[in-house]
Structure 1
Amino acid sequence: MQKKLKLWDAIMLVMGSMIGSGIFIVSADMMRNLGSGFWLVIVWIVTGVMTVAAAISYGELSALFPKAGGQYTYLKEIFGKRMGFLYGWGLFTVIQTGTIAAVAMAFGKFTAYLVPSLNDASPLFQSGEFKITWIQILAIAVILLLTYINTRGVQSGKLLQNVFTGSKIIALVGLIAAGFILVDFSHLSENFSLGFDSFNNFKKDLSGNFLKEGWEPIGGMALLGGIAAAMVGSVFSSVAWESVTFVSGEVENPKKNIVKSMIYGTSAVMILYLAVNYVYLNALDRDSIAFAANDRVAVAASQNIFGNAGTVIIAVLVMVSTFGCNNGLILAGARVFQTMAKDGMFFKSAEKNNKNEVPENALWMQGIWASVLCLSGQYGNLLDMISFVIVLFYMITVFGVIYLRFKKPDLERPYKTWLYPVTPIIYLLIGTGFCVLLLIYKQQYTWPGFLMVLLGLPVYYFINRKKQTDQ
């Protein structure tokens, strides 16, 4: 593969893939679960520590295996082909493609702010609960357009990534500055004071839906359950940084630059996320964050900061953010499926590069399946179910760092995990706590996604049985 991506391009890929629509939405649900600005910030800090600890740990593996395929390659090399396949299966069926679909739909929904007729138009097709809307068609058009641009070569995808990621970083910094300069009345002290004296969240009705009227104190394990539920949002907003490992084969000096891009990129994004949440807490009171219309807390904060123009400002910012995010996800994901095809674990045609030296067939396979998920309308449910599995795969990969240190201590390691073994252990402890609490309190986020990945096992055995028969 041609080495066309420099360190700066890799950092932009990390940041661009992380910053999508989540940061503009998830804090509303997090506040409903936590009921306090103090705990909202604590959860974002914990997620930040967790994310950067994983990135630092992945650095050792990226230097050991500087090949295309990234996390798939690490798992395959450390734990065998079956584990690598299960990750790749999950990535294609929902992790990468479901995220692409969800981010594209967010682009469509915020475009509808600027073009209300998209919301008002009758569905193109409807049968019972299933329907196809113009917003879905727009989302699919964005996916197919970005897929086409990326078939034109790495340079095209790289340029688009750098422009859109740079634009949204500048816009976010501007929003953060305005959120403290232009707000007439600060809600910071009242939002934070709620967390020091008592733990609390919003009351629920008999169906488990949050009520706007009042809040109730919580403590002990119930508080931990609320924190775990809140972390589903912050974790969802903080994944996909590992996408840069998928394109290791196209990065200059990957043994050094992949490590640097992950650590610099994740650290910068988590600082931005914390600052944006401080803007929400400064501009809005607790109820306004928790019950923002359609969970669009960024729109509510922006209206408070900029007046009526706030809706347009945020709509444009989210459109830029989601467009750039999807470009990064599309660019990177196809490289995993190409690597799997070379290992005989995916469709054979995905292995080939086109005349522009990019895996065109893998790109189109990924784009078409993501488009099907857009039409299904189930991408949101799939992502909720898969959050548990994403963290589980992160944990297995981070554990791989420790496992390799014992199994192959003499391997030449161009980069060694900073503060080993403390850093990987921090991730494993937080990740274990998160997964255990979800298993106890939010099972709907756990077993469906786990079963979805396990469905890959019969596929794996079928592929290998077929290969043995061919031999």
Structure 2
Amino acid sequence: MENKQEEVSSKRKLGLFDGVMLVMGSMIGSGIFIVSADVMRNLGSGYWLIVVWIITGVMTVAAAISYGELSSIFPKAGGQYTYLKEIFGKMMGFLYGWGLFTVIQTGTIAAVAVAFGKFTAYLIPALNDAAPIFQSGSYKITWIQILAIGVILFLTYINTRGVEAGKLLQNVFTGSKIIALLALIILGFLLLKSNFWAQNMSFEWASFNNLAKDGSGEFLKLGWESISGMTIVGGIAAAMVGSVFSSVAWENVTFVSGEIENPKKNVVRSMVLGTSAVMILYLLVNFVYLSALSRDGIAFAPNDRVAVVVSEQIFGSGVGTILIAVLVMISTFGCVNGIVLAGARVFQTMAKDGMFFKAAIANNKNGVPEKSLWMQGIWASVLCLSGQYGNLLDMISFVIVLFYMITVFGVIYLRFKKPDLERPYKTWLYPVTPIIYLLIGTAFCVLLLIYKQQYTWPGLLIVLLGVPVYFLINKKEQQQ
């Protein structure tokens, strides 16, 4: 029976198109619709808003190109976990997997699922207006959180039905949101009633004074103030927290390498094509924002929902709000599915190495790691109820980039340590490409450590908590 299950699992069920859809679908969640407001508040200029997205784009594509070499050397399920384990040893692999399970993968699932719930509340106001199911002090459980958990559990169930079911859902929803984003971009340029492009594209630096909020949570219009010197670079690092987080999760395709046809070529093609396409879409969407709204219009969009305000400008308040709500629902639903589909493969691989619960090893009759999927889904649901997923994600952007940097450095390290290793794909423009990523990533992490410590130490602490867990697991293994 077990051999039969392994045989089912070993059939390659995902092609290049599926890989690209998984990359794009995992990347595009709710971030692109809201993050630009925070970037504008930090930097006060459309010119620098575009610069932040370009830097993020260069980082993302450079990392994907670098990962390609590792994916061709280690074309197995587990992706980044496998790369780190094979290059730097079991402990580094475990710390990444620990961070992935405790917050990176599951926290992303929770945050994106809650974003789905919040935009659903646009269409069903009763969700917003309903009294909390439970409240104790500032902690509460709302119907939006319950809806988010419902989405997570439903998509987990769909993915237990086999790779084909998850793949079909992923392709349909990713295709839908790409078409919808393109429509927003094209109609945005064609139907604009006024154009703020020239006004927004100044070279000046400014930040919003004190970022004070009133009782309702909206920003008080205290005004802008010029910034210079190190405040500028600190502002860029703070602004990039959102853009970086909107551009992660592309590496999810490496987690399912074991189910991709011709993984030595198709994994890298999926990453490079997918990341490049998404970053171009992101830039074009920001061009629409800068054309449709003033600096204040972007920075102070209600609840940071810049896309909603732009859509209202183009289509009118009623229709615009509904269209964006539907677009974000499609986008977040597809994003959660992609991350659910991929993440469980890492935990299964870890379990095979004795680094995770043994129950996660087995595949079900459909050839997928059902128990691993449910473990991931249940923990993501707990994070939904905790109400802390948003804070966790702010804190974890630093750690995600840190692990990206360690993995990209692994490309250079392996070139020196094992120069004769077979490399079906070699990093384009090596060593320039990985060095570009390492330089930008280092600057980002160092600036956050100096200027925005609330984004760094908590996430680092979560990962370091994995160190005693690792030694505990190793001790138990040695005793057995």
TM-score, normalisation: structure 2: 0.96
What displacement does 1:213 show? 3.0
Task: Calculate the aligned-residue CA RMSD, in Å.
Answer: 1.1
What displacement does 1:201 show? 1.4
Question: Could you say what secondary structure the match of 1:201 adopts?
Answer: strand
Cα separation, 1, equivalents of 2:157 and 2:349: 20
Question: Could you say what secondary structure the match of 1:457 adopts?
Answer: helix
Cα separation, 2, equivalents of 1:183 and 1:118: 32
Is 2:457 aligned against 1:447?
yes
Q: 2:13 corresponds to which residue?
A: 4
Q: 2:268 corresponds to which residue?
A: 259
> Which digits, 9 at most, give the CA deviation of each residue in 1:412-456, with x for residues without a partner?
100000000000000000000000000010000000100000000
Cα separation, 2, equivalents of 1:170 and 1:364: 31
Cα separation, 2, equivalents of 1:256 and 1:373: 36
Cα separation, 2, equivalents of 1:213 and 1:456: 43
Cα separation, 2, equivalents of 1:54 and 1:425: 10
Cα separation, 1, equivalents of 2:211 and 2:28: 34
Question: Could you say what secondary structure the match of 2:223 adopts?
Answer: strand
Q: 2:150 corresponds to which residue?
A: 141
Question: Could you say what secondary structure the match of 1:131 adopts?
Answer: strand
Residue number among 119, 125, 131 corresponding to 2:134 in the alignment: 125
Residue number among 148, 151, 155 corresponding to 2:164 in the alignment: 155
What displacement does 1:87 show? 0.1
Cα separation, 2, equivalents of 1:132 and 1:217: 41
Query: Which region of structure 1 is more displaced relative to structure 2, 213-222 or 173-182?
Result: 213-222
Q: 1:376 corresponds to which residue?
A: 386
Cα separation, 2, equivalents of 1:300 and 1:456: 43
Is 2:194 aligned against 1:185?
yes
- Kindly indicate whether the alpha-carbon contact (under 8 Å) linking 2:212 and 2:220 is maintained by their aligned counterparts in 1: no
Question: Could you say what secondary structure the match of 1:25 adopts?
Answer: helix
- Kindly indicate whether the alpha-carbon contact (under 8 Å) linking 1:204 and 1:210 is maintained by their aligned counterparts in 2: no
Q: 1:403 corresponds to which residue?
A: 413
What's the % identity of the aligned pairs? 79
- Kindly indicate whether the alpha-carbon contact (under 8 Å) linking 1:68 and 1:245 is maintained by their aligned counterparts in 2: yes
> Which digits, 9 at most, give the CA deviation of each residue in 1:257-286, with x for residues without a partner?
001000000000000000000111011000
Q: 2:123 corresponds to which residue?
A: 114
Q: 1:31 corresponds to which residue?
A: 40
What displacement does 1:16 show? 0.1
> Which digits, 9 at most, give the CA deviation of each residue in 1:281-338, with x for residues without a partner?
0110000100100111110111011112100000000000000000000000000000
Q: 2:75 corresponds to which residue?
A: 66
Cα separation, 2, equivalents of 1:91 and 1:350: 15
- Kindly indicate whether the alpha-carbon contact (under 8 Å) linking 1:203 and 1:211 is maintained by their aligned counterparts in 2: no
Equivalent AA in structure 1 for residue 327 of structure 2: L
Query: Could you list the runs of 5+ residues in structure 2 that have no partner in the other structure?
Result: 1-9
> Which digits, 9 at most, give the CA deviation of each residue in 1:134-155, with x for residues without a partner?
1010000000000000000000
Q: 2:466 corresponds to which residue?
A: 456
Alignment of 1:225-236 (within 5 A): 225-236=234-245
Q: 1:312 corresponds to which residue?
A: 322
Cα separation, 2, equivalents of 1:463 and 1:192: 55
TM-score, normalisation: structure 1: 0.98
Query: Which region of structure 1 is more displaced relative to structure 2, 123-132 or 135-144?
Result: 123-132
Cα separation, 2, equivalents of 1:339 and 1:101: 22
Is 2:442 aligned against 1:432?
yes
What displacement does 1:127 show? 1.1
- Kindly indicate whether the alpha-carbon contact (under 8 Å) linking 2:212 and 2:219 is maintained by their aligned counterparts in 1: no
What displacement does 1:207 show? 9.2
Question: When the two structures are aligned, how many residues end up with a matched partner?
Answer: 467
Q: 1:50 corresponds to which residue?
A: 59
